[in-house]
Structure 1
């Protein structure tokens, strides 16, 4: 019998992930907050559910009738996640993949790894809610800034907005690499683990955004030259070693202009 995977949050990352998993032979359920997108999910062979964290639907246990749950929503609603987990405990879910963010880390002089101390913030608390629960196995994936396809960095700073910290560095990851990492966690059965996921290179913000602006036909960006330099470099050695993962887009200055 094929493994059933439920994806809480079929947006920019969740929808192409769901389609990819369907094409690999998984049975996939997907949630959306938009009634208009239900038919779109269904047309891609994804069983659709209308669902928000704030108001879980009455058929939430039907959505959670799966072996694996991928939680892929940007909410920092701690109470909402506690409520969701109470339903997961009553369900057939055996494994949870929680999509987190490298924003849980503060700036630091040293390279940030999975053992680096986290900031005290709602996302840290939410990670711990999943990690400390003994009803299911959890893997935490902390993605750096997301880019690719519709998410073009050259479009991020509009209306003359000045870009801060030009001498700082960029930590980002392409959508294709995000999807492949998620698949490899599932296929390699790599649970009860935590990974930081970021491209290999960390170009200066000045260089990266100048190139990104030119790629979308905009004039060179304006930087805050008086902004204090803060540094954050996300290391990715653990994910490359543990999953034997090779990034499709390791160099952020050589991304395709999609």
Structure 2
């Protein structure tokens, strides 16, 4: 579900693994951008009565659903929550096997210090409310695994380009990033496990790295320039040991700095 940047990082490798895979877009015109031999279909989750869509019911039957639909800065909360609620109802009607929902560690906005999956959320923040509502919509499904992803990096998404010409704050704060290849391996791990027990997990490079270390190296590799101002901004470090312990998972990139050369 959703074939934006993250969906595209996952779809082709999973298809090459031998899975019968379908990707969705909201309109037919963007389906033409799919890689050769990839099957796609139009499905707008904002539309009512999806449970009457016979094509969708057939494709979702017994399927593992990967939900890579971000809320987007321009989305209203109602659209995002409604979309995921409609997806839940479609999966129930079609008797899907399980859903892996890609959420975001942005849900910890307002928290400081070390945070993990048991941390209390700052529910007064609108972004936190939006992400939490999306998680709750899909966690109604009997087999739902929620992966809260740290900042995304990978091919075409180099952090050195995103900060070019900018002045950043909080040089001593923690950086929380995860590479697309580690997200892919986490999905492969869940498929191999095949138990589909519902759970909530953070995915973030586990080695502690400061923002200054990370972004200066990122800018150096990308041949861009950026600066830091010294301030006392409080930050948070996302802990992600739960997934590693549960599935004996080892990150390819323990340090986010090591992942930078794999973002071109």
Superposition map of 1:136-215 within 5 A:
136-158=142-164, 160-189=165-194, 190-215=196-221
Moved more, 120-129 or 168-177: 120-129
Residues 36/245 of structure 1: CA separation in 2 closer, same or farther (3 Å cut): same
Deviation at 1:22, TM superposition (A): 1.5
Deviation at 1:85, TM superposition (A): 1.8
Give the aligned partner of residue 10 of structure 2: 17
Give the aligned partner of residue 4 of structure 1: none
Equivalents in 1 of 2:245, 2:193: separation in Å?
Answer: 13
Equivalents in 2 of 1:84, 1:255: separation in Å?
Answer: 33
Deviation string, structure 1 residues 40-67 (Cα, Å, up to 9, x no partner)? 53623x3201233334775433442342
Equivalents in 2 of 1:215, 1:71: separation in Å?
Answer: 32
Do structure 1's residue 61 and structure 2's residue 57 form an aligned pair? Answer: yes
Match for residue 254 of structure 1 among 236, 242, 258: 258
Residues 253/132 of structure 1: CA separation in 2 closer, same or farther (3 Å cut): same
Conservation of the 8 A alpha-carbon contact between 2:218 and 2:260: no
Query: Aligned to 1:140, what secondary structure does the other structure show?
Result: strand
TM-score (norm. length: structure 2): 0.84
Q: Give the number of equivalent residue pairs.
A: 245
Residues 99/33 of structure 1: CA separation in 2 closer, same or farther (3 Å cut): same
Residues 11/66 of structure 1: CA separation in 2 closer, same or farther (3 Å cut): farther
Do structure 1's residue 27 and structure 2's residue 27 form an aligned pair? Answer: no
Moved more, 138-147 or 228-237: 228-237
* Unmatched segments (≥5 aa) in structure 1: 1-7
Equivalents in 2 of 1:193, 1:61: separation in Å?
Answer: 25
Deviation string, structure 1 residues 57-78 (Cα, Å, up to 9, x no partner)? 7543344234211111102511
Query: Aligned to 1:30, what secondary structure does the other structure show?
Result: strand
Give the aligned partner of residue 228 of structure 2: 223
Equivalents in 1 of 2:32, 2:192: separation in Å?
Answer: 28
Match for residue 244 of structure 1 among 245, 248, 258: 248
TM-score (norm. length: structure 1): 0.86
Residues 210/52 of structure 1: CA separation in 2 closer, same or farther (3 Å cut): farther
Q: Write out the 4+ residue segments of structure 1 that deviate beyond 6 Å after TM superposition.
A: none
* Unmatched segments (≥5 aa) in structure 2: 72-76, 124-128
Moved more, 137-146 or 98-107: 98-107
Query: Aligned to 2:5, what secondary structure does the other structure show?
Result: coil
Deviation at 1:177, TM superposition (A): 0.3
Give the aligned partner of residue 40 of structure 2: 48
Residues 240/40 of structure 1: CA separation in 2 closer, same or farther (3 Å cut): same
